[in-house]
Amino acid sequence: MADEVILLSFWPSMFGMRTMIALKEKGVKYEYREEDLVNTKVPLLLEMNPIHKKIPVLIHNGKSICESIIQVQYIDELWSDKNPFLPTDPYQRAQALFWADFIDKKDQLYVCGRKIWSTKGEEQEAAKKEFMEILKILQSELGDKPYFGGDKFGFVDIVLIGFYCWFPAYQKFGNFSIEPECSKLMAWGKRCMERESVATSLPDPDKIVGFVLQFKKLYGIE
């Protein structure tokens, strides 16, 4: 009997993009179900993630796995015969998990990005400063390596790359540029986009900009 794999997500979600990339990297066939989080939440989402009531939710043979980093690790461990994401060396594995946790700690990168397009004045400036500080820390960890784990696309790359398609929206609404201070990180993003799993999981950045414009209008954010 074949595995039944369902992914509940929302197309602009950088968190859902992680799980999509992980499934594609492993060659796992899955059913994608779009959740319109702006207007409603369907019963299946509420049933499968009753604690947080948010996407993405990975459903494997009727059982739900919540939180995107946990989903990526689950996919890596379950389909371990192909293209491992996490290193086998315990120290290197711990480092990868540390940086994944750093990216999501208190949703700092996500929250800063959201504040960039949803606020103005001092609050926006503070968000831009913190956002760039986080990116510079990540760029320092990347160093001159092609990917965060070295020569191979892996766990930390999967966790971070979804934010890349949001960069143009952050820059447009925040009126700033990431490239001058984070050129190596931007080059890493372009490198990741050459992978089919990434290119087919990340939406067009212009579509993200349009989504933000629609969202700002809907909620009266000037």
pLDDT in tens, 163-211: 999 999 999 999 999 999 999 999 999 999 999 999 999 999 999 999 9
Among candidate residues 115, 214, 108, the one with its CA nearest the CA of residue 174: 115
Collapsed DSSP state (helix, strand, coil) of residue 59: strand
55 in any annotated domain: yes
- Residue 204 sits in a domain whose CATH number is 1.20.1050.10
Regarding whether 65 and 15 lie in a shared domain, the answer is yes
Cβ–Cβ contacts within 10 Å for residue 183, how many?
A: 11
Q: What is the pLDDT of residues 188-201, one digit of tens each?
A: 999 999 999 999 99
Helix (H) or strand (E) holding 58: strand 57-60
Regarding whether 107 and 38 lie in a shared domain, the answer is no
Regarding whether 128 and 214 lie in a shared domain, the answer is yes
Sign of torsion over alpha carbons 22, 25, 27, 33: positive
Q: How many domains does the chain have?
A: 2
In sequence order, what are the residues at sequence separation of 6 or more whose Cβ sits closer than 8 angstroms to the Cβ of residue 176? 128, 132, 170
Regarding whether 106 and 68 lie in a shared domain, the answer is no
Tell me the pTM. Answer: 0.93
Domain of 29, in residue numbers: 5-78
Q: 87 preceded by cis ω (within 30°)?
A: no
